[in-house]
Amino acid sequence: MSERADWMRPEDEHLLALLRAERKDTFSAVAAQLPLTREQVADRCRTLAAYGLVEHLGSDIYTISSLGERYLDGDVEASELDAN
């Protein structure tokens, strides 16, 4: 796994790993597996999407992006990413 950027939170790696395992999921389903509320998951997903690590599929469903996969594999440094 790559080093976290200043804008990342420790739970982001767990969120990305869950999305990698599930392929796609809703805020509520992810929140049930993390010590976060649905609103906190929504906020983190929006931030991760802004940096290209997850993709919004509509409604409250997100999936990990290929960039997110590469981040988890240690091939991309989050500190080098720019928000869209």
Distance separating alpha carbons of residues 70 and 80, to the nearest angstrom = 13
**Which residue range forms the structural domain that includes residue 58?**
11-72
Number of residues in the chain = 84
* Residue the block writes with tokens 């869950």: 18
Which amino acid makes up residue 77?
Answer: E
What pTM did the predictor assign? Answer: 0.89
Strands laid side by side in the 54-58 sheet: 25-26, 61-64, 54-58
Query: Residue 58 maps to which CATH number?
Result: 1.10.10.10
pLDDT per position in the chain (84 positions), as tens?
A: 667 789 999 899 999 999 999 877 788 888 888 898 989 999 999 999 999 999 999 888 999 999 999 999 999 999 999 998
- Answer whether residue 80 is part of any domain: no
- Answer whether residue 1 is part of any domain: no
